[in-house]
Structure 1
Amino acid sequence: MIDLPVDPLSDRELRDLREAGIALFAGRVILNAQPPVDDATLAAVAERCAGPLPDPLVALWRTAFGGRLDYDLRADLDGQDVPLSFTELFYPDSDDYQDLWGWIGHEIDLADEHEPQWSGRLGHLPIGGFEYLDRVYVNTVAGQDHGAVVCWRHGLPAGWELRTGDRSGWLADDLHTLFGQLMLERDPWNVPEGTGAEMRDAVDELTNSADAHLRTAAAKVRRLVRQTVLDWRSALDEGTLPRQRRLRRLAMDRAVTDDDVALLARLVSLGCDPAEEISNGLTPLDLALMLQSSDATRWLLQHDVPVDNALQVGAHAVDLELARNLIDRGASVNECAVIRAVDNENVEVVRLLSNAVRPDALGRLSQRLRTMAGQATPAGRDSSAQPGTPAGEREYRRAAVLAELADRFDADRQP
């Protein structure tokens, strides 16, 4: 983290920030901060829970009963380091995905459907997340895990992630600990977009205020935000990076994203593993292929890293020679790899991967490829409004190859 000392905010500064829609909890900024919870609403929520509301949750709601967060959070789900979207703090009657009563009702309906013998009170209270995809819960059951924070993540369609299906896991012992895990992987004052940009813009707006007290408060909040920036470069210079998992994975991610072979070589020379999963089950090679970081891809292959998932995530970006190379090295070829290859400029990559796919996948693939062939034909027509354009010819060629493969798969399935 960036070492920036922050003076405590005065009561007046906190009030001024509150009027501007900003609250602070456990050293983290809450945007669009809603008014603190009242006793009647606390009692109404508690009435729906299996045990008493944990003290850290009450403290959060006494600070802000809802709002938005703008930090990076990672969860260990099924052994993978997975980015988790925790951007919304639920509150009643928000008329949006953040509606607390709506999520409580949703959980009650699920329990009624799947757990007929349940007590009628929620053991895990949904308190935040991101739309319908990610949810964060607090354990309300009295006992050792009371107040613990867990998460649920909606499974994305095949091809979006290496693993399919919904996932859940442990996040923290309590909400104070969870908020301490909210960090920024990049300094929002150094990059124009991404996580933290909404916080940066809110703070900068206050910095330009005519109110001197508000400008002072904004300066303190800016330092508070920048303290949460993960400073992997300092750890690299100090030689401590390999011992810090999140920092070394972030550094490897940056090296691949920037196609920086010199940084890759330096990280590996210090002891970082070029085959370590760095995000959502992806290795540096997987990420390099996805992003078409050609120099990083070549360097990693020269160092004989595993290629198991390379075509599943990167078939859209490889040329025919590299596709053959990866297959020879043992890369898995499955339905996701073939479907991803449909977006490759060279449709012959689709043909190559289709020839290597398992026979039991042919039925599912033939239907998908036929659908995509139908989509490619009008795309070719649109692209070739002027006859003979390369884009139009390429789409017509793609449609023909996909239809040919679908016909062949159907024929191969005939008894």
Structure 2
Amino acid sequence: MTAAPDDALLEPSSGQERRILSEAGIALFAGRLILDAQPPIDDATLAAVAERCAGPLPDSLVALWRTAFGGRLDYDLCADLDGQDVPVSFTELFYPDSGDYHDLWGWIEHERKLAEEHQPDWSGRLVHLPIGGFEYLDRVYVHTAIGPDHGAVVCWRQGLPPGWELHAGDRAGRLADDLRALFGRLVLEHDPWEAEDDTGAEMRDAIDDLADSGDPHARAAAAKLRQLVQATVLDWRRALDQGTLVTQRRLRRLALDQAAADDDVALLARLVALGCDPAEQIRSGLTAIDVALLHRASAVVRWLLERRVPVENSLQVGAHAVDLDLARDLLDRGARINACAVSRALDNEDVEVVQLLSRAVQPDDALARLGPRLRMMAAQATLASRRATAQSDETAAQREQRRSGVLAELADRFDPDRRP
């Protein structure tokens, strides 16, 4: 996906359309929309930021801030981290007094404190300047030191609990050579005028508001904005029809993801027949069978198992969605069992699945941390059993009593130090 020139949208009546976009809080940079766009940076603030950096501010960053010194983005962005396509939340462009988790100055101070703590010989100036991200979870930085990486854009993702997306540690990686190239990578995986609640919905609503205006210039601007936004949609269906899908990694993985999530065996079979690997990691380390389990896509799960795809991570992702027979099958095929898989299984309606998976692991610290949750759920099941008895529903009462007993037993096994 390449960036469209900013001016392409605004011809022929650029002055009027620029005014309309400004009043709507919309700015354009490298062919992408910025919502809630803030006024351009002034020279004094630009100099104050530059004083805190290891080298001159990159030209592309200055150009962005001269366009809009902060705002919101509503696109999909993926980073290649350790060979995986990992989504990066790049929804905020930091600016002073933003009212978010930190404003720009707050993030700069955050980075300065970290550098002082971990780099005894730190120069006092930031090599990586934080310019956007999402709260405290994801951040995007621009490289400011003079050298071959000057202007390069990198990302950082906070480590999440064990089992989440199969990674627990912090992760970082390069996104683009400069900010214009990064904006060119901002895309949409789905057309927001076709997908009700997905990335791009805020842009869609802002554009539709302009389209409903009585001002013909606003309606003309809306039509051009819509065209600009829809040009960023990743159209894997067209690539499939044209026979080019297999060679385009991002589109290929989107198609596999869609087939698995939608329980579309016909599409998945077509993709595999064309050369797609059904065992390929398609999203944050997940394969098609993992995605299918997440979405309870049982037909796709069966189809993939018939083709003997690897199932190592399947129960860590989908233990909540399997029945007892499928759980046994996945175990026999080598699915990994750990605290994450047991935790997922606690959301399974069949307590026999919980018991089966729990028998396949030895107690450890991670499982011990499930003790309080297990005891709480056991107590809830006991109350549910009593309510069912009061309502003369003996089947439900026995089921909930069985669930309570299994969960209480597991709590004592995994967390014996807190046994009542």
User: Do both proteins adopt the same fold according to a TM-score greater than 0.5, normalized to the shorter chain?
Assistant: yes
Percent same amino acid among aligned pairs? 69
Give the Å deviation of 1:160: 2.4
Query: Where does residue 374 of structure 2 map in the other structure?
Result: 372
Query: Where does residue 383 of structure 2 map in the other structure?
Result: 381
Match of 1:314 among 313, 318, 327: 318
Give the Å deviation of 1:394: 4.3
Give the Å deviation of 1:296: 0.7
Q: Which residue identity does 1:47 align to in structure 2?
A: E
Moved more, 378-387 or 219-228: 378-387
**Distance in 2 separating the partners of 1:182 and 1:20:** 21
Cα RMSD for the two superposed structures: 2.1
Retained in 2: the 8 A contact 1:366–1:405?
no
User: CA 1:142/1:252 → structure 2, altered by over 3 Å: closer, same or farther?
Assistant: same
Match of 1:67 among 47, 67, 71: 71
**Distance in 2 separating the partners of 1:374 and 1:25:** 51
The DSSP-based 3-state class of the residue aligned with 2:182 is helix
**Distance in 2 separating the partners of 1:64 and 1:410:** 54
Retained in 2: the 8 A contact 1:369–1:402?
no
Give the Å deviation of 1:395: 4.4
User: CA 1:40/1:384 → structure 2, altered by over 3 Å: closer, same or farther?
Assistant: farther
Q: Which residue identity does 1:407 align to in structure 2?
A: D
Retained in 2: the 8 A contact 1:189–1:200?
yes
Give the Å deviation of 1:364: 3.8
Retained in 1: the 8 A contact 2:367–2:415?
no
Retained in 2: the 8 A contact 1:374–1:399?
no
**Distance in 2 separating the partners of 1:51 and 1:363:** 46
1:237 aligns with 2:241: yes
Query: Where does residue 147 of structure 1 map in the other structure?
Result: 151
**Distance in 2 separating the partners of 1:373 and 1:199:** 45
Q: How big is each residue's C-alpha offset from its partner over 1:328-366, in whole Å with a ceiling of 9 and x where there is no partner?
A: 111111111112111111111111111111x3x445424
Query: Where does residue 402 of structure 2 map in the other structure?
Result: 397
Give unpaired runs (5+ residues) of structure 1.
none
**Distance in 2 separating the partners of 1:380 and 1:87:** 44
Query: Where does residue 411 of structure 2 map in the other structure?
Result: 406
Compute the TM-score of the two structures, normalised by the length of structure 2.
Answer: 0.93
| Alignment length (residue pairs) | 409
Retained in 1: the 8 A contact 2:246–2:276?
yes
Retained in 2: the 8 A contact 1:373–1:398?
no
Q: How big is each residue's C-alpha offset from its partner over 1:289-346, in whole Å with a ceiling of 9 and x where there is no partner?
A: 1110011101111111000101111111111110110111111111111121111111
Q: Which residue identity does 2:9 align to in structure 1?
A: P
1:270 aligns with 2:274: yes
User: CA 1:23/1:391 → structure 2, altered by over 3 Å: closer, same or farther?
Assistant: farther
Q: Which residue identity does 2:184 align to in structure 1?
A: G
Q: Which residue identity does 1:372 align to in structure 2?
A: L
Q: How big is each residue's C-alpha offset from its partner over 1:368-414, in whole Å with a ceiling of 9 and x where there is no partner?
A: 135322234136526854535566654443332122123345679xx
Retained in 2: the 8 A contact 1:366–1:410?
yes
**Distance in 1 separating the partners of 2:121 and 2:401:** 58
User: CA 1:67/1:98 → structure 2, altered by over 3 Å: closer, same or farther?
Assistant: farther
**Distance in 2 separating the partners of 1:348 and 1:411:** 21
Retained in 1: the 8 A contact 2:293–2:301?
yes
Retained in 2: the 8 A contact 1:71–1:182?
yes
Query: Where does residue 160 of structure 1 map in the other structure?
Result: 164
Match of 1:105 among 109, 122, 129: 109
Retained in 2: the 8 A contact 1:275–1:305?
yes
Retained in 1: the 8 A contact 2:153–2:176?
yes
Retained in 2: the 8 A contact 1:377–1:395?
no
Retained in 2: the 8 A contact 1:159–1:340?
no
1:216 aligns with 2:217: no
Match of 1:253 among 250, 257, 261: 257
Query: Where does residue 334 of structure 2 map in the other structure?
Result: 330
Query: Where does residue 8 of structure 1 map in the other structure?
Result: 9
Once the two structures are superposed, the pairs formed by residues 43-192 of structure 1 within 5 Å of their partners are 43-97=47-101, 99-192=103-196
The DSSP-based 3-state class of the residue aligned with 2:133 is strand
The DSSP-based 3-state class of the residue aligned with 1:407 is helix
Compute the TM-score of the two structures, normalised by the length of structure 1.
Answer: 0.94
User: CA 1:395/1:88 → structure 2, altered by over 3 Å: closer, same or farther?
Assistant: farther
**Distance in 1 separating the partners of 2:50 and 2:333:** 57
The DSSP-based 3-state class of the residue aligned with 2:147 is coil
Retained in 2: the 8 A contact 1:140–1:147?
yes
The DSSP-based 3-state class of the residue aligned with 2:148 is coil
**Distance in 1 separating the partners of 2:257 and 2:312:** 19
Retained in 1: the 8 A contact 2:371–2:412?
no
Query: Where does residue 226 of structure 1 map in the other structure?
Result: 230
